Every structure is written in structure tokens, then in C-alpha cells.
Amino acid sequence: MNSDTHHLDLNKLSEYLTHQIPDFSGINTSKKFGTGQSNPTYLIDTPEKKYVLR
């Protein structure tokens, strides 16, 4: 399994979350927690809030 297996498309994710979360203002950065997870978890940082995506 390479590092691209769980790659996030931040543009598509941001577009999706804009329609799902009121006042969502786009993604500044994302960071994957740990390695080798079968269920990857990410920290999503936005101008207003931080989210955890699993």
C-alpha cells in the first residue's frame, strides 16, 4: 500500500462539505493521523474551525 492509497482530493472534499455544513468556509490544510491505518483519520483545518474526518 503506498501513500496515495488514502489521498484526499481537497477540492472535491471542500465542495462536498460546503453543501453539507452550514457556513463551511473551505479547507486551509489537512493532516493524516498516523500511518498504516485501515480506517484513516484526518485533521481538517478551516478558517473558522477544525474537523476530524474518518
Residues 1-54 have pLDDT tens digits of 344 456 889 999 999 999 999 999 999 999 998 876 688 899 999 999 999 998
* pTM listed for this prediction: 0.77
The residue among 19, 28, 21, 22 whose CA lies nearest residue 47 is 28
pLDDT value of position 39: 84
Helical (H) or strand (E) element with 33? strand 29-33
Domains identified in the chain, total number: 1
Q: Sort strands 29-33 and 50-53 into parallel, antiparallel or unpaired.
A: unpaired
The answer to whether position 4 is within a domain reads: no
The answer to whether position 1 is within a domain reads: no
Q: Which domain holds residue 47?
A: 10-53
pLDDT value of position 34: 82
The answer to whether position 38 is within a domain reads: yes
SS3 label, residue 32 = strand
